[in-house]
Amino acid sequence: MARIYDCSVDTDLLTGTRLARQAVGRGEVVVIPTDTVYGIAADAFNPDAVQRLLDAKGRGRDAPPPVLIPGQSTLDALADFVPDVVRRLVDEFWPGGLTVILVAQPSLVWDLGETRGTVALRMPANPVALELLAETGPLAVSSANRTGRPAAATAQEAVDQLGESVEVFLDGGAAGGAASTIVDASRVTEAGGRVRIVREGAVTRAQIQQLIGDELEPVVAAPSEPADDAVDADVAASGEEPAAADAAPVAAAPAAVPDEPEAPRGIASGAERDAPSASQPSASQPSASQPSASQPSADPPAHPR
């Protein structure tokens, strides 16, 4: 039977962190406090444990969890390339509510799900979480809730949603409540590139803009589809933490967004808008009911989270 350990009591803190460390080592999942929301955590290098985390949340492999780390040295170990702009961001906002998406080290032996080569990394500003991370190493962590429900701000809320699927609950008091801000730097290379805000949360756009200036991609809403912030509204409202597949390298198609609607379907390309209607097909072009094999699809790619 899962038990809650009150981390404000020294004996509970020692016992709880010891049992949590042992549970992680066995491939079980635990709930930990963070500075944003409570998280459900598993050994990032144990595929079975990561799958247990996803199952506990009711989430598929298309929504891989981010990874919490104990310090910046781990950032260099897990990311293939850490741009200077990212170093400035983490120097300023870590530990804290900023999640950074980078291209993962290709040599890493892990399976977080359908990450498409990226990993979302954060160093939390919570002493209990940092103490556990120092002993366990990187943990795959997602918000402690069933997918589609509000993220837990207390250990009891996590118990109410996750119950017996979790081995140990560490109670660190009420969490901050604001989900982390997610920035995507996976497209930034030595040749340049801009950081994109995927979701604004604990760290504001203004704070990031002040630090990195024009290295931050501006918000531009396409007229025929919603802007990123609109697509991310459901996630921001629920307090859900990000998936590692929030972005992908340039060579790869963007990963689908967990717990979010896809971009609107049926947006016609310019060629389709100029084509004759189905009732008046051109002799040289097939009707709308019989598209040419060379004609582009009307469906845009799924919108990244």
Q: What is the pLDDT of residues 223-256, one digit of tens each?
A: 544 333 322 333 443 455 544 444 433 333 333 3
Residue 221's pLDDT is 64
Residue 99's pLDDT is 98
Higher pLDDT, residue 301 or 45: 45
Residue 4's pLDDT is 96
pLDDT, mean over the chain: 80
Res. 113 pLDDT band, cuts 50 70 90? confident
For the residues 1-25, what does the mean pLDDT come to? Answer: 95
d(CA 78, CA 73): 9
**301 has a pLDDT exceeding 80:** no
Cα dihedral 284, 288, 293, 294, rounded to 10, equals 70
Q: pLDDT tens, 245-295?
A: 444 333 333 333 333 322 333 333 333 333 344 444 444 444 444 444 444
Where do the CATH 3.90.870.10 domains begin and end in the chain?
3-246
Residue 235's pLDDT is 42
Q: Which residues of 182-195 are buried (b: 16+ CB within 10 A; e: fewer)?
A: bbbbbbbeeeebeb
23, two tokens: 């549970």
Residue 177's pLDDT is 73
pTM summary value: 0.74
The CATH classification number of 3-246 equals 3.90.870.10
Q: From 265, 289, 264, 262, select the one nearest 275 (Cα to Cα).
A: 289
| Contact yes or no for 131/70 (Cβ under 8 A) | no
Longest dimension (CA), the chain: 82
Residue 240's pLDDT is 55
